[in-house]
């Protein structure tokens, strides 16, 4: 399998220039579509430690086989903890369409000074955007805390922590895909201990390999599973033309082939984490949702009072966990 990787070495030459310095806004910033290309692999729990050992050995800089593609490749390992609160409605539209709306919180365990440590973000994931089943659209929105809500929209479980300048854009974007934003309420929470190998080309991001220990929970129930994601850097992939994307995908497919040849029990499964969590929890619907699960287009005075009062206590608890820098995007 290792020798097969040589066949892709020439693919890199024509697109190295794409991986120069880039920022979050190079691919459009907030409320702009980014294209996420990701191979999702289901990993049996009994081989998790062996897989991680293999990744850190196979992708160690002192003996990095990716240098056969280009000597500019390098890697580093890190460990993160993610908390994703997902949203859906009574009809479970997002689940059925394999979409995702989630409030993500991130902690960098290996470096508390990392600029991304403690950051929060709302992400919208859209499935089935073309012929490539590995591609999903992603939109991002900034989080901001405003304290005790004073209007119905500020008390809404989805909108209450979205930066007020981006609430209308978020609602319009969801409407574009046939989703009524006001119908959404918190559903499954997914926590992930993420062990990662970051792959760079000439010091610029190229891809990540993420071994996720996933715990899904809802209404007092929890379930655990493990997943390995091979994701191309979304900014460079989004900015690239069709030729560039094909070359990047070829490298990722080779990495996948190497892993599957080494661990035959690993299987590719492109099902989103949200759907996997729903299945692992053995859920039929979200009838056990909290009182915040409201789907009316408007709220009665009584319900507004309940929202305001309850949200006040939640905000008081949440604020203790975050620093002022949380409003910055990933």
Q: Supply the pTM of this predicted model.
A: 0.80
Per-residue pLDDT of the chain (330 residues; tens, 9 = 90+): 433 443 334 334 333 334 433 344 345 589 999 999 999 999 999 999 999 999 999 999 888 888 888 889 999 999 999 999 999 999 999 999 999 999 999 999 999 998 999 999 999 999 999 899 999 999 999 999 888 888 888 889 999 999 999 999 999 999 999 999 999 999 999 999 999 999 999 988 999 999 999 999 999 999 999 999 999 999 999 999 999 899 899 999 999 999 999 999 999 999 999 999 999 999 999 987 655 444 333 344 445 555 556 555 655 555 444 444 433 333
Distance CA 153, CA 164 (A): 10
What is the three-state SS of 88-111? ECCCCHHHHCCCEEEEEEEEECCC
- Per domain, the residue ranges of the chain are 2-10+30-327
Q: Residue 64 and residue 150: Cα distance in Å, rounded?
A: 56
* Listed residue (102, 86, 95) closest to 138, CA to CA: 102
Please give the backbone phi and psi of residue 179, each rounded to the nearest 5 degrees, phi first: -115, 125
Q: Is 151 exposed, middle or buried (0-12, 13-18, 19+ CB in 10 A)?
A: exposed
CA 176 vs. chain centroid, Å, equals 21
First to last CA, the chain: 35
Closest-CA residue to 58 (of 228, 201, 262, 233): 262
Please work out, in degrees rounded to the nearest 5, the angle formed at the alpha carbon of residue 53 by the alpha carbons of 50 and 57.
140
d(CA 100, CA 194): 19
2-10+30-327 classified as CATH 2.40.320.10: yes
């Amino acid at each position: 399998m290792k020798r097969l990787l040589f066949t892709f070495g020439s693919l890199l030459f024509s697109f190295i220039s794409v991986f120069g310095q880039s920022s979050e806004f190079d691919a459009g910033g907030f409320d702009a579509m980014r294209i996420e290309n990701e191979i999702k692999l289901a990993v049996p729990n009994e081989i998790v430690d062996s897989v991680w050992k293999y990744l850190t050995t196979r992708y160690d800089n002192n003996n990095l086989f990716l240098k056969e593609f280009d000597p500019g490749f390098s890697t580093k390992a890190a460990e993160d903890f993610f908390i994703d609160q997902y949203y859906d409605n009574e009809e479970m539209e997002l689940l059925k369409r394999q979409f995702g709306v989630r409030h993500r919180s991130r902690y960098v365990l290996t470096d508390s000074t990392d600029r991304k440590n403690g950051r929060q973000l709302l992400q919208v994931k859209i499935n089935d955007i073309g012929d490539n089943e590995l591609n999903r659209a992603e939109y991002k929105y900034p989080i901001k805390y405003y304290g005790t809500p004073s209007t119905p929209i500020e008390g809404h479980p989805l909108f209450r922590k979205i930066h007020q300048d981006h609430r209308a854009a978020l609602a319009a974007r969801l409407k574009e895909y046939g989703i009524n934003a006001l119908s959404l309420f918190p559903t499954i929470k997914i926590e992930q201990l993420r062990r990662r190998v970051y792959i760079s080309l000439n010091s610029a991001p190229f891809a990540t390999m993420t071994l996720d220990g996933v715990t899904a929970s809802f209404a007092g129930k929890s379930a655990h599973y493990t997943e390995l994601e091979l994701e191309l850097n979304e900014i460079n992939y989004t900015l690239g033309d069709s030729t560039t994307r094909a070359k990047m995908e070829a490298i990722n497919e080779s990495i996948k082939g190497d892993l599957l040849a080494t661990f035959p029990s690993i299987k590719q499964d492109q099902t989103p984490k949200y759907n996997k969590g729903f299945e692992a929890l053995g859920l039929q619907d979200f009838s056990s949702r909290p009182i915040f699960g409201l789907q009316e287009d408007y709220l009665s005075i009584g319900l507004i009072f309940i929202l305001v009062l309850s949200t006040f206590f939640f905000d008081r608890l949440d604020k203790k966990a975050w620093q002022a820098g949380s409003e910055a995007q990933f």
